[in-house]
Structures are given as C-alpha cells and as structure tokens.
C-alpha cells in the first residue's frame, strides 16, 4: 500500500502504531489508503482502536510510530486546528452556551470571515440539514436527532475536504437512525466530501459505505466494499462479525481445483471453498450464511454432500422464516427462508437434509 502513488490517495496511514501506556499497542501496523470522495467506515468491536485512529487523524492523539498523510502531506506535526478536518463527535459537542447559529458561525469566525458571508453560509448549512428555523435556539432545546443534524452542519459549514464522524448516530432510535444514515451518505456524496465514519453497528456500515474497514485487535482485518465483505469474508472474525453466520468446525481432508473437502468433528464430509487454509490436516472453521442453506432436495446440486438436520425451532418473522436446527452437533444452526406462497414451514422435531453450493461455504482459519 505504501508504494501507491500519492495522487489518488487523499488520506494515507502508513505503518501506524499507537500505544497509550508504552506497554500495549492499541493500534498495530495500520495501513490504509483512501481516495478523494470516498465514504469509508471503520467497523469493529468496542476497544478495537477505531476512535484512536480517528483521533490520530484529527490530531488529538499522536501516532507512536508511522506516518499519516493528508493530500500527500505528512500531518504528524500539524496541530489540530490547522488540519482543516471537520469532525462530528459521538456526543455532538455542541457548545451549550451558544445558540445554534453561533455554533455554526464559530468555525467561520475563527477563520476571520466577514459577517455577511458568515450569515450566508450558516443559513445555507442549516437549510441543508433542514434546521433553518432553529438558528436562535440553544442546543439543550433540541431533540437528539436535531442536535445530530446541527453537529453535522457545523462540521460541514467551513467546507472541509475531510470529515470524521465518531458513532454520530449512537444515541438515536432505530427509525431516526435509518433516516439520518440516508441523509449523511446523501450529503457526503452530493458535496463530494471524503468521509471517515466510525461505528460498531454493522448494518450502518454496510448500508452507508463505499468501503468498510473491519477492525479487530488494532488491525484492519478486511477492507472491502460492503457486498464483498458480506459475501466473501477473508477470515473467520469478519465472517462472524458481519451479518448472521453459521459455523461448523472440522479438519481439511483434501484441497484441489479450488474445492476443499472438510471432515467435520462429527465425522460428516462437506465441500467448501478454501479461503485462508492451505493444506490438508489443518483445522478450519466453515462459514455458511443462513440464507444460502437449502433444504429443498430438488434445488440441491447433484453430487454435493448433504447433512442430516433436526428442526428445533421455527420462528415466523413476517418477511422471512427463521428456523433453528441441530446440525453436526451444533444446536444454533440457523436457516432463513423467504415467506413465499410455496414455502414449506418446517415443524419442530422434523428430520431434514440440508445442503448448499460449495461456493457459499467458506473454509476459514480456525
């Protein structure tokens, strides 16, 4: 990544490490390149170092090692207020002693902008987030969603090229969240802003981003567009973390022609696609998405291995059916089927046979 040319890289992390206490590395060897205009989401469990990365980019934490570049210029020694990066904080951080309009006017004032120009820009920014009539209020007089929008407007009003958002929707209810997700992506693309967005909500990450960086243990586990991330997880952490996932454990028996034969711990054999396993005898964790499991014998490919399963629970969820099975000793094996007119509703206790396309079943590291 480091050898990529700088002209299409707007934000670059090169071999960045960060330690707070000199004993443990919170960020271990981070490499990341973002082109201009990209909407990139950092997704990962709590404590995986997302906020830390954002703070290093914004200038509130210094990297212990490595180089961070913005538009080709190393920013390690540039103080935060000179970086020109817009930031939306998790708690919004709207100044409580200023009105909404004063909050938005603040970044323009410190840039010594004239009064009429300021008012013009503040008004435009507020209109952009549909908060035009709230300029005279204090932050405490707004609802959570309104505060969120003002925080967004404030981060954008001075027209930064890069905007960082740290879990900006964490405090909102589901409905408002979905609305705001749409509004944020819409605005970011419309204004052509490069955005780094932090969340630990995977739905949010999948629906909003151009690319998602999955963080764990201070490293990027996979950096890919949402569909690729979901359909082609590169390791078992990503497979587990993104979406619902069934796992079965076993040992590689044979690998050839892009197919792996896996013997599960119960002795059954299945066909998989090898991802990060290389040789027979290795332990593996096999991952299958619930919606890719098939139990209708007519639709199964010929010659593939099938598994016996017992239905434990059938849950009606409206648009889909969710069925819990016991498969190869795993009692949490889930399958999802669409609620179509000809769909069979399985009964608890029923014995069935399940299978899948070998390409949908990925053999990952154990």
Ligand X SMILES: Nc1ncnc2c1ncn2[C@@H]1O[C@H](COP(=O)(O)OP(=O)(O)OP(=O)(O)O)[C@@H](O)[C@H]1O
Residues that bind Mg ion (CB under 5 A): 51
- Paired tokens of 171: 């405090």
Nearest to 265 by CA among 247, 251, 279: 251
CA distance 236 to 28: 19
* Binder of other proteins out of 80, 136, 280, 329 (CB under 8 A): 80
Q: Closest separation between CB of residue 149 and other proteins, Å?
A: 16
Q: Report if residue 266 touches other proteins, rule: CB under 8 A.
A: no
Residues 295-334 touching ligand X, rule: CB under 6 A, are none
User: Considering CB distances under 5 to 8 angstroms, the limit depending on partner class, which of ligand X, other proteins, Mg ion, none binds residue 179?
Assistant: none
Q: Report if residue 312 touches other proteins, rule: CB under 8 A.
A: no
Q: Report if residue 48 touches ligand X, rule: CB under 6 A.
A: yes
Query: From start to end of 153-306, where are the E strands?
Result: 162-166, 194-199, 211-216, 219-224, 246-256, 259-264, 269-274, 283-288
Q: Report if residue 348 touches other proteins, rule: CB under 8 A.
A: no
Chain centre to alpha carbon of residue 99: 34
Rounded to 5 degrees, φ, ψ at 237 are: -65, -45
Nearest to 335 by CA among 326, 324, 344: 324
Nearer to Mg ion, 51 or 147 (CB): 51
SS3 21: coil
Q: Report if residue 124 touches other proteins, rule: CB under 8 A.
A: no
* Binder of ligand X out of 35, 47, 84, 243 (CB under 6 A): 47
* Binder of ligand X out of 121, 177, 200, 324 (CB under 6 A): 200
Stretch that binds other proteins, among 125-133, 154-162, 237-245, 320-328 (CB under 8 A): 154-162
- Residue 326 bridge partners (DSSP): 310
Nearer to other proteins, 104 or 255 (CB): 104
Tell whether the torsion through CA atoms of 39, 229, 302 and 341 is positive or negative.
Answer: negative
* Binder of other proteins out of 9, 58, 172, 264 (CB under 8 A): 58
Chain centre to alpha carbon of residue 291: 20
CA distance 180 to 196: 16
CA distance 324 to 337: 12
Q: Report if residue 93 touches other proteins, rule: CB under 8 A.
A: yes
CA distance 157 to 122: 7
- Residue 251 bridge partners (DSSP): 263, 283
CA distance 110 to 106: 6
Q: Report if residue 20 touches other proteins, rule: CB under 8 A.
A: no
User: Considering CB distances under 5 to 8 angstroms, the limit depending on partner class, which of other proteins, ligand X, Mg ion, none binds residue 314?
Assistant: none
Nearer to other proteins, 79 or 267 (CB): 79
Nearer to other proteins, 100 or 252 (CB): 100
Q: Closest separation between CB of residue 11 and Mg ion, Å?
A: 18
* Binder of ligand X out of 9, 11, 16, 26 (CB under 6 A): 26
Q: Are strands 351-354 and 11-18 parallel, antiparallel or unpaired?
A: unpaired
- Residue 287 bridge partners (DSSP): 247, 362
* Binder of other proteins out of 5, 21, 22, 97 (CB under 8 A): 97
Stretch that binds other proteins, among 8-16, 81-89, 325-333, 344-352 (CB under 8 A): 81-89
User: Considering CB distances under 5 to 8 angstroms, the limit depending on partner class, which of other proteins, ligand X, Mg ion, none binds residue 46?
Assistant: ligand X
Q: Which residues bind other proteins (CB under 8 A)?
A: 58-60, 79-87, 89, 91, 93, 95-97, 106-107, 110-111, 154-155, 158
């Amino acid at each position: 990544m480091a050898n990529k040319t700088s002209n299409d890289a707007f934000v670059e992390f090169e071999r960045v490490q960060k330690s707070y206490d000199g004993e443990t590395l919170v960020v271990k060897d981070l490499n990341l390149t973002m082109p201009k205009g990209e909407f990139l989401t950092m997704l990962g469990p709590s404590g995986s170092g997302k906020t830390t990365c954002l703070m290093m980019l914004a200038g509130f934490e210094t990297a212990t090692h490595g180089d961070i570049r913005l538009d080709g210029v190393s920013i390690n020694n540039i103080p935060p207020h000179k970086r020109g990066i817009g930031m939306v904080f998790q708690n919004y951080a709207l100044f409580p002693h200023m009105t909404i309009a004063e909050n938005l006017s603040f970044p323009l004032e410190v840039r010594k902008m004239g009064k009429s120009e300021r008012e013009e820009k503040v008004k435009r920014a507020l209109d952009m987030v549909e908060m035009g009539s709230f300029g005279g209020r204090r932050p405490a007089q707004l609802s959570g969603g309104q505060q969120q929008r003002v925080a967004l407007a404030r981060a954008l009003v001075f027209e930064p090229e890069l905007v960082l958002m740290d879990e900006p929707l964490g405090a909102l209810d589901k409905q408002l969240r979905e609305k705001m997700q749409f509004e944020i992506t819409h605005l970011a693309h419309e204004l052509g802003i490069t955005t780094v967005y932090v969340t630990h909500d995977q739905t949010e990450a999948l629906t909003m981003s151009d690319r998602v960086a999955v963080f764990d243990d201070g490293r990027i586990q996979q950096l890919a567009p949402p569909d690729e991330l979901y359909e082609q997880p590169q390791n078992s952490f990503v497979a587990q973390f993104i979406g619902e996932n069934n796992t079965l454990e076993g040992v590689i028996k044979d690998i050839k022609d892009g197919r792996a034969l896996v013997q599960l711990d119960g002795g059954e054999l299945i066909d998989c696609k090898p991802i990060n396993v290389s040789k027979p005898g290795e332990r593996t964790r096999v991952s299958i998405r619930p919606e890719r499991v098939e139990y209708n014998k007519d639709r199964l490919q010929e010659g593939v291995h099938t598994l016996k399963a017992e239905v434990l629970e059938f849950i009606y969820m409206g648009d889909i059916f969710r069925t819990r099975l016991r498969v190869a000793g795993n009692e949490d094996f889930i399958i999802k089927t669409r609620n179509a007119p000809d769909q069979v509703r399985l009964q608890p206790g029923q014995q069935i046979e399940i299978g899948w396309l070998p390409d949908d079943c990925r053999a990952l590291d154990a």
